[in-house]
Amino acid sequence: MPDWMTYFVDAAVMVPVMVLFVRLAGLRAFSKMSSYDFAVTVAFGSVLAATVVSPSTGLTQGVLGMGALFAVQWLIGWTRARWPILQRATDNDPILLMRDGEVLSNNMARARVTLPELRAKLREANVMNRSEIRAVVLETTGDVSVLHGDRLDGDLLLDGVRD
């Protein structure tokens, strides 16, 4: 069989296998809810790519590798939901970068976030005025949440965020 056909067959098998595993594991399989989830999602892509483009990675190896990643992710997700100590071991803590329009320079430095990066996130969130900003949080996934408006229910939204 020509090389191009092998790539096509491997891709035609691996993509539906990945979809099947996602259906079995649930939507969390590709979530970025924690740094662990993000790392596993990257690993899924690596296994898929290696299976399709690397002659040394066979289709059976790719399917088994993908299945093993999904199984481990499911198992860790299951245990994280039951034992908070494992959740703390696998997740970063979110960190507050701004509160009530004021930049928290120490937290910015600790998180290694620059002022231009922060400004870009504020623009993405359609913040028009510094006084609108209630809080900016660097989440456990690396995403930035910008909370703006008239009021902030800090007890609910900022619980567990490092200040």
140: Cα separation from own chain's centroid: 8
Distance CA 87, CA 92 (A): 9
- Contact between 118 and 102 under an 8 Å Cβ cutoff? The reply is no
Measured torsion, CA atoms of residues 77, 79, 85, 89, in degrees rounded to the nearest 10: -40
* Residues in the chain, pLDDT under 70: 1, 32-33, 152-155
pLDDT on residue 155? 64
Q: At what angle do helices 35-53 and 3-25 cross, to 10 degrees?
A: 150
Q: What is the pLDDT of residues 21-31, one digit of tens each?
A: 888 877 777 77
